[in-house]
């Protein structure tokens, strides 16, 4: 029996976050340039997004470009930005066909104007779609996000809009870029690296973590279903005892 058939429909994760890693290594193994891996990675994004929408997942957040990725060689950064523009142009019909709404999180002010404009246009076009919300993390890092939230909260206190005693989990969550989404139930990272790498540090507090050696370009819907099945066999306790949550 395939993994898809093992998925329990009543326990679909609401929010899946993915660190898509291993494009460069995959390309190198084929004797190709790194961009060949990123282009193949976009194919994986297409297939996994369709699979997530079909399963009825509400939110999927993809780590496409981190704050730290700006330090990569300029050629690769430029090529990645161009690839993002091409992908958005090419994939907007797929999003419409599958009733998918696009959103982004991250410091978009650092993106080239054309990249930002393309994302904004796609967000606008898909805003009324009611199926999966696909969230692309672009120029994102959790520490950037937490600094920004702290600055905003400090400013609100200074302006007398909030008391220090009022600051709690909900308030902090409300100042994060993910304020309109549930926390991820499941985090997937490909390529065998066992790290969080500055992704959604606050939001992943109680997420189930799933690591696979599969490189992102070779991560298939079947591998995705396998991760969902694995998640469904976990017991989520949120700090309580096993007896309390049963």
Binding ligand FPP by CB under 6 A: which of 53, 102, 122, 136?
A: 136
For residue 20, the minimal CB distance to ligand FPP (Å) is: 5
Q: DSSP states of 164-222 as a string?
A: GGG--HHHHHHTSTTTTSPPPSEEEE-TT----TTSSTTTTTT-EEEE-S--GGG--HH
Instruction: Enumerate residues 6+ apart whose C-beta is below 8 A from 45.
Output: 20, 62, 87
Segment contacting ligand FPP by CB under 6 A, of 38-46, 50-58, 94-102, 142-150: 38-46
Q: Are 88 and 44 in contact (CB under 8 A)?
A: no
Instruction: State yes or no: is 69 an active-site residue.
Output: yes
For residue 189, the minimal CB distance to ligand FPP (Å) is: 10
Q: Which is nearer to ligand FPP, 136 or 188 (CB)?
A: 136
Q: Are 210 and 223 in contact (CB under 8 A)?
A: no
Q: Are 231 and 185 in contact (CB under 8 A)?
A: yes
The single residue of 69, 98, 129, 198 carrying the catalytic annotation is: 69
Note whether 102 binds ligand FPP by CB under 6 A: no
Note whether 17 binds ligand FPP by CB under 6 A: no
Exposed/middle/buried for residue 236 (C-beta within 10 Å: 0-12, 13-18, 19+): exposed
Q: Which is nearer to ligand FPP, 141 or 149 (CB)?
A: 141
Note whether 69 binds ligand FPP by CB under 6 A: yes
Binding site for ligand FPP (CB under 6 A): 20-25, 38, 41-42, 45, 62, 64, 69, 84, 87, 136
Residues with a known catalytic role: 21, 69
């Amino acid at each position: 029996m395939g993994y898809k058939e093992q998925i329990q429909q009543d326990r679909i994760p609401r929010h899946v976050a993915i660190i898509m890693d291993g494009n460069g290594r995959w390309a190198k193994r084929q004797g190709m340039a790194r961009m060949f891996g990123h282009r193949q990675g976009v194919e994986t994004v297409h297939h996994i997004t369709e699979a997530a929408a079909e399963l009825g997942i509400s939110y999927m957040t993809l780590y496409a470009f981190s704050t730290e990725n700006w330090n990569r060689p300029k050629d690769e950064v430029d090529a990645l930005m161009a690839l993002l523009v091409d992908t958005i142009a090419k994939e907007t019909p797929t999003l419409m066909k599958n009733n998918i709404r696009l959103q982004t999180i991250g410091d978009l002010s650092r993106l080239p104007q054309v990249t930002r404009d393309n994302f904004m246009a796609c967000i606008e076009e898909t805003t009324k779609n009611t199926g999966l919300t696909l969230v692309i993390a672009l120029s994102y890092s959790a520490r950037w996000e937490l600094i920004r939230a702290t600055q905003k909260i400090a400013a609100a206190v200074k302006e007398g809009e909030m008391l220090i005693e009022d600051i709690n989990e909900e308030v902090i969550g409300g100042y994060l870029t993910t304020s309109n989404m549930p926390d991820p139930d499941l985090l997937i990272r490909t390529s065998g690296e066992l790290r969080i790498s500055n992704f959604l540090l606050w939001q992943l507090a109680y997420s189930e973590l799933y690591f696979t050696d599969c490189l992102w370009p070779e991560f298939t819907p079947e591998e995705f279903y396998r991760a969902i099945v694995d998640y469904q066999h976990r017991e989520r306790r949120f700090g309580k005892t096993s007896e309390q949550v049963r």
